[in-house]
Amino acid sequence: MIQLLKKILIILVYRLLGPTVKIINDPESQLKKIKAGGRNLLFVLWHESTAMCFYYYRYRQAAILREDSKKGEVLAAMSRNLGYTDFKITDNTADKTAIKGIIQLIKYLKKGHDGVIAIDGPNGPYHEPKTGIFQIARKSDTIIIPVGVWYKNKYVSKKRWDRYQAPGLLLSVYY
């Protein structure tokens, strides 16, 4: 029951905060040119910045990697609500779940879809990138698009490893 309430709460938060987004330096025209050239996109961001990045690229059949855990199930519920496909991974590279999730993502990207990955996720350390992103991009023939987020007003969770950020009343996204 608690997990269901968490899922509902995070979906509501995204639905309420999403419309407050203000994009500056909107990359949409450049992204369309890349897609028209037959290439797919792999958006890469810090884990702290996932809040509104998911909202920005919603309903475009993109994929995410998410942790195989209760916390990951909450993220999966939110992302599915925004039109994403999710693939499970773990931090343990010897775990078959991690390998299977990455292979599934690569196949999905090769079919013409885009992806969104927190480069330092799912469990950190803070701002230390994982190298697998480059292998995923190479094997799926996708272009890595680094994403940065700046919030004019924000909430920062000091108790989380990622110092997760959520917007106040105004969000600006830079690409």
- Bridge-based pairing state of the strands 115-118 and 40-45: parallel
- Bridge-based pairing state of the strands 142-146 and 165-167: unpaired
How sure is the predictor about 9, in pLDDT bands with cuts at 50, 70 and 90?
A: confident
Asked whether residue 169 carries a pLDDT value surpassing 90, the answer given is no
**Mean pLDDT across the stretch 43-64?**
87
pLDDT given for residue 171 in this prediction: 44
What single string gives the DSSP state of each residue in 2-50?
HHHHHHHHHHHHHHHHGGGEEESS--HHHHHHHHHTT-EEEEEE-GGGH
**Pick from 168, 49, 69, 27: nearest CA to 118:** 49
Considering the four listed CATH numbers 3.90.1150.10, 3.40.50.720, 1.20.210.10, 3.40.1130.10, the one that applies to the domain covering 2-174 is 3.40.1130.10
How sure is the predictor about 16, in pLDDT bands with cuts at 50, 70 and 90?
A: confident
Asked whether residue 97 carries a pLDDT value surpassing 80, the answer given is no
